[in-house]
């Protein structure tokens, strides 16, 4: 599994994604530079977190127009798996790879802490190996993660809500929602299910030394450690 981690100016979780794919998961991984217009040989793409272009104007807006995003779109259109984390999620939404928008947290503060996530919706390359009903504990770290979509019902109906903020027992309620996202949505996928975006950082919860390895399941699912190939 060759994984390309896209590096935008201002990305700052690029090394982290690289570390998890390369060292924790033991997969071949390399960076793709934002100025390139081709991804090269890649079996999966990660759009990492950070503050691309400083998140100036709107988070993800400028990176969405980078040359490399043309290649990422092509890759996604062919069904290639794309994992968009935090700023990557914002970029994917701005680029139209995913629907919706990520807006200023209702608290108006940057929020860095653990949250709990329910895994739902249609099977995706990043979630199909996660046992049903499992609640994940994964950190968030963002100021603009409030998910807004003009037609949530439609998204829900199509099974495109992949992650939802819940409490540790799996209950959906306002207290478990760290940013005011509509319907507690933490992550979504595209219609085909191959592009998955989420605000929480699975790469920060992929090793027990950091307090949780629940996030590892997303990467394991991709690699098909459970025996399923993507």
Partner 1 sequence: MKAKVYVTLKEGVLDPQGQAVARALGRLGFSEVQDARIGKYIEVQLADDVKDVEGHLKQMCEKLLANTVIEEYRYEIVK
Partner 2 sequence: MSAAATKKEPEITEALAKEHGLSPDEFRRVHDILGRAPSYTELGIFSVMWSEHCSYKSSRLHLRNLPTSGPRVIQGPGENAGVVDIGDGQAVIFKMESHNHPSFIEPYQGAATGVGGILRDVFTMGARPVACLDSLRFGRPDHPKTRHLVEGVVAGIAGYGNAFGVPTVGGEVYFDASYDGNILVNAMAVGLARTDKIFYGKAKGLGNPVLYFGAKTGRDGIHGATMASAEFDEESESKRPTVQVGDPFTEKLLLEACLELMSSDVLVGIQDMGAAGLTSSSVEMAARAGNGIELDLDKVPRRETNMTAYECMLSESQERMLAVVHAGREAEALAIFAKWDLDAAVVGRVTDTGKIVVKEGGKVRAEIAVGPLAEGLRYERPFARPASLDAERALDVAKLPVPKDLGVTLTTLLASPNIASKEWVYRQYDHMVRVGTVVRPGADAAVIRVLDGAEDPARAKGLALTADCNSRFCALDPYEGARLAVAEGYRNISTVGAEPLAITDCLNFGNPERPEVMWQLVEAVRGLGDACRALETPVVSGNVSLYNETEGRAIKPTPTIGTVGLMPIAADAVGVGFEEGCTVALLGVNTDEIGGSEYLDRVHGKQAGVPPRLDTTREVAVGTACRNLVQAKLVRSAHDCSEGGLAVTLAESCIQPARAGAASVGVTIKLDEPLRADLLLFGEAPSRIVISFPPEREAEVRAMAVRYGAPFEVIGATGGRRLQIYQQSTRVVDVPVDELTRAWQGGFRAVVS
Distances (CA, A) of 71 to 36, 37, 38, 55, 114: 9, 6, 5, 22, 33
Tell me if 148 contacts partner 1 by CB under 8 A.
yes
Residue 58 binds: one of partner 1, partner 2, none (C-beta under 5 to 8 A by kind):
partner 1
Degrees to nearest 5, angle at CA 167 with 161 and 168: 115
Build a one-symbol-per-residue string for 24-43: x at contacts with partner 2 by CB under 8 A, - elsewhere: x-------------------
Answer yes or no: 203 catalytic.
Answer: yes
Among 30, 73, 101, 137, binds partner 1 (CB under 8 A): 101
Tell me if 139 contacts partner 2 by CB under 8 A.
yes
Tell me if 183 contacts partner 1 by CB under 8 A.
no
Strand, coil or helix: 60 = coil
Tell me if 56 contacts partner 1 by CB under 8 A.
yes
CB of 94 to partner 2, least distance (A): 17
Degrees to nearest 5, angle at CA 158 with 173 and 81: 100
Residue closer to partner 2 (CB basis): 41 or 209: 209
Build a one-symbol-per-residue string for 152-181: x at contacts with partner 2 by CB under 8 A, - elsewhere: ----------------x-------------
Strand 3-7 to 44-47 pairing: parallel
Phi, psi of 42 (to 5 degrees): -145, 140
The kind and range of the H/E element at 70 are helix 67-77
Note whether 97 and 195 are within 8 A (CB).
Answer: yes
Which single residue is written with the structure tokens 């933490």? 186
- 34, 142, 149, 201: the active-site residue: 201
Residue closer to partner 2 (CB basis): 15 or 120: 15
- Going through 133-218 in order, the beta strands assigned E by DSSP cover 135-142, 146-148, 161-166, 185-189, 195-198
Tell me if 208 contacts partner 2 by CB under 8 A.
yes
The kind and range of the H/E element at 94 are helix 87-94
Answer yes or no: 120 catalytic.
Answer: no
Answer yes or no: 149 catalytic.
Answer: no
Residue 148 binds: one of partner 2, partner 1, none (C-beta under 5 to 8 A by kind):
partner 1
CB of 158 to partner 1, least distance (A): 17
| Tokens coding 194 | 């191959």
Selected range binding partner 1 among 61-69, 111-119, 163-171, 215-223, rule: CB under 8 A: 61-69
Tell me if 134 contacts partner 2 by CB under 8 A.
no
Residue 207 is classified by DSSP as B
- 13, 34, 86, 142: the active-site residue: 86
Active site members:
86, 201, 203
């Amino acid at each position: 599994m060759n994984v390309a981690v896209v590096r935008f100016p201002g990305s700052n979780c690029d090394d982290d994604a690289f570390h998890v794919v390369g060292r924790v998961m033991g997969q071949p991984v390399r960076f793709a530079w934002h100025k390139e217009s081709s991804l090269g040989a890649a079996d999966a793409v990660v759009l990492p977190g950070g503050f691309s272009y400083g998140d100036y104007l709107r988070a993800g807006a400028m990176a969405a127009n980078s040359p490399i995003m043309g290649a990422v779109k092509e890759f996604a259109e062919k069904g290639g798996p794309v994992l968009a984390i935090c700023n990557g999620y914002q970029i994917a939404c701005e680029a139209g790879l995913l629907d919706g928008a990520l807006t200023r947290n209702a608290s108006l503060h940057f929020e860095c802490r653990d949250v709990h996530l329910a895994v739902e919706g249609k099977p995706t390359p990043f979630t199909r190996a996660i046992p049903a009903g499992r609640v994940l504990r994964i950190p968030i770290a963002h100021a603009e993660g409030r998910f807004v979509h003009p037609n949530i019902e439609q998204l829900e109906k199509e099974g495109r809500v992949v992650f939802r903020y819940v409490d540790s027992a799996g209950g959906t309620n306002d207290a478990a929602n760290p940013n005011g996202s509509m319907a507690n949505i933490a992550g979504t996928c595209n219609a085909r299910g191959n592009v998955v975006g989420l605000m929480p950082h699975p790469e920060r919860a992929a090793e027990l030394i950091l307090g949780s390895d629940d996030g590892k399941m997303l990467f394991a699912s991709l690699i098909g450690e459970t025996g399923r190939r993507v």
